[in-house]
Amino acid sequence: MSLQALIIVNQRASSYKKHMLKDVLNTFRANGYMVDVFNTKKKGDAQARSQEAVKEGYPLIIAAGGDGTINEIINGIAFTDVCLGVLPFGGENVLGREIGLNRHLTNAINTIINGKAHNITLGRITNSDGKVRYFSMMAGIGFDAAVVYGVNTRIKRISSRLAHVISGLKAFSNHQPILNIKLNGQSYAGYWLIAANGAKYGGNLIISPDANIESDNLNVVIFQKNGKLDTLRYVFGIITSRHLYFVDVMSAVCTPNTVIEVEGVSHVQIDGEYFGMTPCKIESVPNAIKIQIK
């Protein structure tokens, strides 16, 4: 009996190559999979098609793209019995790295074919207009969201990392507003917040070593100062995994029974995709989706 799967492909993903997809399809079909392919054309296509696929009864949806494609799909299949598989065709592939995938597609294919479905937690973010999105890896409010907001999409198609560096230099020169953050009955002032569902961040960096997509909690990191030298220090701290030792960086845990409330005026990103502006609320939602992991 054939195993049915739908592969949702972002052909604009930085690592996508037509011949690579052909090899992927041949491998799946040789292993007894009946595979259909859907190519996205614009933002929102992956979510809309995954929602349709749920109704059509696909048991497995495979994301062939980057973290943005994955984010759309998880928003289409959360709280269903459909399982997510990941083929890392994107620039940073943060979720892929989190579950042990590298850029070698053979590794990812083997994980999908021979791995097991694991229930993982998602983060849920809601803005003041009632807009709700789920994220698999992180929500960022402040500096990194300003970077995402300013990314040039044409440069990103060539090099995701270069596009983010250029935008980061622009964001660095702009003043970031202070945020009022409420968590676990306490109020904090900060200018940059990251709610981490997993340990990885921005590729292979570690933002919160205790964060785990299979735990029920989100780990919160708050950077409390907004000077340019402070921003530079925080960035190098993240690169060198020293940021959690800084006295002006605090961390906390958000359990499923607590809500992170953020007030102020700042940009918000989820899984490296622009979400909008604060104010917003963030929560953890355990057992929200199934994903193939080794």
Q: What is the CATH number of domain 123-287?
A: 2.60.200.40
* Contact assessment for residue 240 and residue 206, using Cβ atoms and an 8 Å cutoff: no
Residue 63 bridge partners (DSSP): 8, 86
- Whether residue 1 has pLDDT greater than 70: no
pLDDT of residue 155 exceeding 50, the answer is yes
Quick one: the chain helix, strand, coil %, rounded to 5?
A: 30, 35, 35
How large is the average pLDDT for residues 265-282?
Answer: 95
Structure tokens at 126: 């809601």
Domain spans in the chain, listed from the N-terminal domain onward: 3-114, 123-287
Name which residue leads in pLDDT, 68 or 104: 68
Give me the pLDDT at residue 2, please: 62
Confidence check: pLDDT of 170 > 90: no
Compute the distance between CA of residue 95 and CA of residue 97 in angstroms, rounded to an integer.
Answer: 5
Pair of tokens at residue 234? 């925080």
CATH for the stretch 3-114: 3.40.50.10330
Q: Which segment, 103-112, 176-185, 210-219, is predicted with the most confidence on average?
A: 210-219
pLDDT digits (tens, 9 = 90+) for 232-267: 999 999 999 999 999 999 999 999 999 999 999 999
Q: pLDDT per residue over 82-141, tens digit each?
A: 999 999 887 778 999 999 987 778 899 999 999 999 999 999 999 999 999 999 999 999
Check the CA dihedral 96-285-118-244 and report its sign: positive
What string of DSSP letters covers 16-46? --HHHHHHHHHHHHHTTEEEEEEE--STTHH
Residue 68: name the closest of 156, 196, 132, 165 by CA: 156
Q: What is the pLDDT of residue 195?
A: 98
Does the pTM surpass 0.75? The reply is: yes
